[in-house]
C-alpha cells in the first residue's frame, strides 16, 4: 500500500494551526483565588485563537466577552474590514468567568448554582492575565479590546496591568457604573430573584426571562429605533421572540456577572480616586462611546478619557448601546488607524 510522503514539521504545524483557528479551548487555572478571598475551585477559562502570532509576539490582542456573551459570539467582529483584522493581529477571545463556558454557576460541579462565589470584573481580568502568561506564554499585548462588559474589563486591564499592553479600546464600557446603569442591572438581578421559580437558585425553568427581555428592549437601543423596528401591534410577539434569546443565558450566571458589573470600580483600591487610578495607565487609549447609550451611560467613560488624555470616538446614532455595531464601518476604520500608530 502506498503511503503519503511525510509533511515537513513547519508545514504540519501550520496546517494544524489553521485547522484549530477559532476552536473552543480551555485552560485550567486550578483553584483560582478571588479578590474577596474566596476561591473558584478547579477553575477553567475558555478561549479561542484567531490569526497568527508574530515571532516576537508583538501582535497579540485580547478580546473578552460581554455580559452573558461567549468567545464564539465575538467572531463576527474579527477579520479584514471588521473591528479587528485577523490578517494582521493574533486575537485571543476569552470567555469571562461565569458566562457558562468558563467556570460558572451553571457548569461547576464543585460549586454549583448559588454556591458559586461572588466575582468581580477584576477577577475576570486576573484570570485572563493568568491564561495569557501561564498557559499561552504571552507576556505583553498589542492591545486589549472589549465591548460592553468587555469594555469594563478593558478599563480594568489598563489599571490592573498598566505595562502589559500598548493600546486599549473600550467600547460602550465604563471604569465604574453610574447610578442609572447600576439600577438597570440590579433590576435584572431582582427580576430573577423575585420570580418564585428561581427557588434560591435551584430552578428548573428560566426565572425572570420575560421581565429581563422587557428591560433590555427599553435600554439596549433608543425609543426611536425600537419604535421604528417594532410595529406597535406586534410588541408582544417581539418580546416573546426575544425572550427565547434571553433564556439561553443561565439565570445564576447572569446574576453573578450582573453583580460584578454593579460593584465594578477601577478606583476602589485607590480610595475612590479616579485621578489616582488614571495615573497608573500607560497604554494609549481610544474610548468609544455612544451618547445615547441607555445600558452603560457614557459619562464615566468620557470623564476617565479626559483624565487619561485619551482619544475619543463619540457616536450619536439611535442604536444606543448597539451603536458601534450599527456604525461598524466607521468604528473599524478608526480602530485600524489607532492600532497602526
Q: What is the pLDDT of residues 286-326, one digit of tens each?
A: 999 999 999 999 999 999 999 999 999 999 999 999 999 99
What ranges make up the beta strands (E) of 83-202?
Answer: 90-94, 141-147, 165-171
pLDDT at position 79, please? Answer: 95
The burial class, CB within 10 Å (0-12 / 13-18 / 19+), for 289 is buried
Q: What is the DSSP string of 227-273?
A: HHHS-GGGHHHHHHHHHHHHTTS-HHHHHHHHHHHHH-BTTGGGTT-
SS3 284: strand
The answer to whether the CB of 200 falls within 8 A of the CB of 114 is yes
The Cα–Cα gap between 150 and 155 comes to: 9
pLDDT at position 101, please? Answer: 98
User: Cell match 464615566: residue?
Assistant: 300
203 CB contacts (<8 Å, ≥6 apart)? 197, 251
60: left (phi over 0), alpha (psi -120 to 50) or beta: beta
Q: What is the pLDDT of residues 172-184, one digit of tens each?
A: 999 999 999 999 9
pLDDT at position 11, please? Answer: 42
159 CB contacts (<8 Å, ≥6 apart)? 175, 266, 277, 280, 281
Give the HSE-up count for residue 171: Cα atoms under 13 Å, Cβ half-sphere.
25
Domain spans of the chain, in order of start: 22-177+265-339, 181-257
The answer to whether the CB of 133 falls within 8 A of the CB of 252 is no
pLDDT at position 341, please? Answer: 86
Q: What is the pLDDT of residues 98-145, one digit of tens each?
A: 999 999 999 999 999 999 999 999 999 999 999 999 999 999 999 999
pLDDT at position 15, please? Answer: 41
Q: What is the pLDDT of residues 75-99, one digit of tens each?
A: 999 999 999 999 999 999 999 999 9
Task: Considering only residues 224 and 16, tell me which one the structure prediction assigns the higher pLDDT.
Answer: 224
Phi, psi of 262 (to 5 degrees): -60, -40
CATH number of 181-257: 1.10.1740.110
Of the candidates 219, 59, 34, which has an alpha carbon nearest to the alpha carbon of residue 130?
34
What percent of the chain lies above the pLDDT cut of 70? 94
The Cα–Cα gap between 181 and 293 comes to: 10
What percent of the chain lies above the pLDDT cut of 90? 93
The pTM (predicted TM-score) of the whole model is: 0.93
Grid coordinates standing for 248? 439561553
**What is the band of 20 on the pLDDT scale with cuts at 50, 70, 90?**
confident
CATH number of 22-177+265-339: 3.40.50.1820
Grid coordinates standing for 27? 485552560
Grid coordinates standing for 326? 450599527
pLDDT at position 160, please? Answer: 98
Q: Mean pLDDT across the stretch 265-289? A: 98
Amino acid at each position: 500500500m502506498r503511503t503519503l510522503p511525510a509533511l515537513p514539521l513547519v508545514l504540519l504545524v501550520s496546517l494544524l494551526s489553521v485547522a484549530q483557528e477559532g476552536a473552543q479551548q480551555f485552560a485550567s487555572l486550578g483553584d483560582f483565588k478571588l479578590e474577596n478571598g474566596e476561591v473558584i475551585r478547579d477553575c477553567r477559562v475558555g478561549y479561542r485563537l484567531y490569526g497568527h502570532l508574530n515571532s516576537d509576539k508583538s501582535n497579540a490582542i485580547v478580546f473578552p466577552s460581554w455580559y452573558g456573551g461567549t468567545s464564539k459570539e465575538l467572531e463576527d467582529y474579527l477579520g479584514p474590514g471588521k473591528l479587528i483584522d485577523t490578517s494582521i493581529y493574533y486575537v485571543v477571545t476569552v470567555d469571562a468567568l461565569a458566562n457558562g463556558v468558563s467556570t460558572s454557576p451553571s457548569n461547576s460541579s464543585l460549586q454549583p448554582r448559588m454556591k458559586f462565589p461572588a466575582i468581580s470584573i477584576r477577577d475576570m481580568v486576573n484570570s485572563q492575565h493568568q491564561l495569557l502568561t501561564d498557559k499561552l506564554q504571552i507576556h505583553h499585548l498589542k492591545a486589549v479590546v472589549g465591548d460592553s462588559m468587555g469594555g469594563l474589563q478593558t478599563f480594568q486591564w489598563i489599571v490592573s496591568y498598566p505595562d502589559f499592553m500598548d493600546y486599549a479600546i473600550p467600547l460602550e464600557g465604563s471604569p465604574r457604573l453610574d447610578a442609572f446603569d447600576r439600577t438597570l442591572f440590579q433590576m435584572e438581578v431582582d427580576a430573577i430573584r423575585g420570580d418564585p421559580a428561581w427557588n434560591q437558585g435551584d430552578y428548573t425553568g428560566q426565572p425572570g426571562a420575560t421581565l429581563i427581555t422587557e428591560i433590555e428592549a427599553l435600554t439596549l437601543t433608543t425609543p426611536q429605533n425600537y419604535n421604528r423596528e417594532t410595529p406597535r401591534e406586534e410588541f408582544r410577539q417581539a418580546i416573546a421572540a426575544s425572550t427565547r434569546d434571553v433564556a439561553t443565558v443561565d439565570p445564576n450566571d447572569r446574576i453573578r456577572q450582573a453583580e460584578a458589573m454593579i460593584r465594578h470600580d477601577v478606583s476602589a483600591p485607590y480610595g475612590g480616586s479616579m485621578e489616582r487610578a488614571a495615573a497608573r495607565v500607560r497604554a494609549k487609549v481610544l474610548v468609544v462611546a455612544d451618547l445615547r447609550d441607555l445600558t452603560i451611560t457614557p459619562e464615566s467613560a468620557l470623564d476617565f478619557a479626559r483624565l487619561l488624555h485619551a482619544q475619543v470616538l463619540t457616536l450619536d446614532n439611535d442604536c444606543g448601546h448597539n451603536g458601534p455595531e450599527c456604525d461598524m464601518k466607521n468604528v473599524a476604520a478608526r480602530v485600524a488607524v489607532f492600532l497602526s500608530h
